[in-house]
Chains A and B, each alone.
Chain A
C-alpha cells in the first residue's frame, strides 16, 4: 500500500527550530518529487516547498525562503523539512505529498499523508 507518514510536529517557542520527517512506503521513492503543504488553523492549504526525485533541486514559497530547508534521503525513503526562526505564522498542520512524477513542476500531488502538527507559541 502506498503510504506517507509524517512525524516530528511539536510545540516550539518563537525563534526555535524543528525538523519534520515523512516516511514513504509502497513505491519507489526516488522516482517521485515530494512536497510539503501546510494548513494553518481555520485556513486553506498553502504550498511550502518541493524537491525533485533525485534531490538535486528544490523550491520554496517566499515566506519560508532562508528559514526552511527541504531534503530527502532516498536510501531511507524519507523526506525532511528543517524549519528555523519559527514564528506564530508557521503554526499549522504540515502535510507531505507525492508528485505524479520525478519532477515537481507541472505535476499534481497524488498521494498525501495525514499531517503532523506544528505549534509555535511561548
Chain B
C-alpha cells in the first residue's frame, strides 16, 4: 500500500502569510496527487489535481508542485477564509489520504 505523510501537522499563520505544506508518498506516484481543503461541518473541497492543476473556481493564490514522491501546496497570501485542514491524496493506485495539516491563527 502507498502511505502518505504531511508536514507540518499544524501550522500557525497570519493573514497575508505565504504558506507551504509538504506531502510525501512512500513510493513514486508520478503526478497522481490531489490537495483538498476541509472545514468543520463542510464538504471537503478539491483544490489541486494531478499535482499542479487548479480545480475549477479555486483562487489562483493556491498552487501545487512536485512529482514522484515529494509534493507541495503553496498559498501565496493567506486569506481569512483559508484557515482549514488540508489533505493530500494519492490516486495512482486506489486512494490514500495524508494525515492532514491544520492551518490556524
Report which A residues bind B (CB closer than 8 A).
4, 35, 37, 44-47, 50, 59, 61-62, 95, 97, 100, 105-110, 112-115
Contact of A95 (CB < 8 Å), options: B43, B93, B98: B43
Q: Number of B interface residues at 8 Å Cβ cutoff, please give it.
A: 28
CB pair A45–B49 under 8 Å, yes or no, is no
Contacts of A61 in B (CB 8 A): 94
Query: Is B28 positioned at the interface, with any CB of A under 8 Å from its CB?
Result: no
Q: Which of B38, B92, B95 contacts A47 (CB 8 A)?
A: B95
Q: List 14 A-B contacts (CB under 8 A).
A: A44-B87, A45-B87, A47-B89, A47-B95, A47-B96, A59-B94, A100-B49, A105-B93, A106-B91, A108-B49, A108-B50, A108-B91, A110-B49, A114-B41
Q: Residues of B at under 8 Å CB distance from A?
A: 1, 32, 34, 36, 38, 41-46, 49-50, 55-56, 85, 87, 89, 91-100
Find chain B residues with CB under 8 A from A110 CB: 46, 49, 55-56
Across chains A and B, which 3 residue pairs bring their CB atoms closest together, nearest first? A47-B95, A108-B34, A112-B43
Cβ B44 vs Cβ A95 within 8 A: yes
Nearest B-chain residue to A115, judged by Cβ: B43
Q: SS class of chain B's interface: helix, strand, loop or mixed?
A: loop
Chain A residues lying within 8 Å of B41, measured Cβ to Cβ, are 114
The verdict on A108 contacting B97 (CB below 8 Å), with A45-B38, A45-B87 known, is: no
Bound-state CA distance A105–B44 (Å) is 19
Per the bound structure, the CA–CA distance linking A107 and B32 in Å amounts to 8
Interfacial chain B residues near A114, Cβ < 8 Å: 41-43
Q: Which residue from chain B places its CB closest to the CB of A114 in the assembled complex?
A: B43
Once the chains are docked, how many angstroms separate the CA of A83 from the CA of B44? 23
A50–B89 Cα distance when bound, in Å, is 14
Distance between Cα atoms of A71 and B43 in the complex (Å): 22
Q: Are B98 and A44 in contact (CB under 8 A)?
A: yes
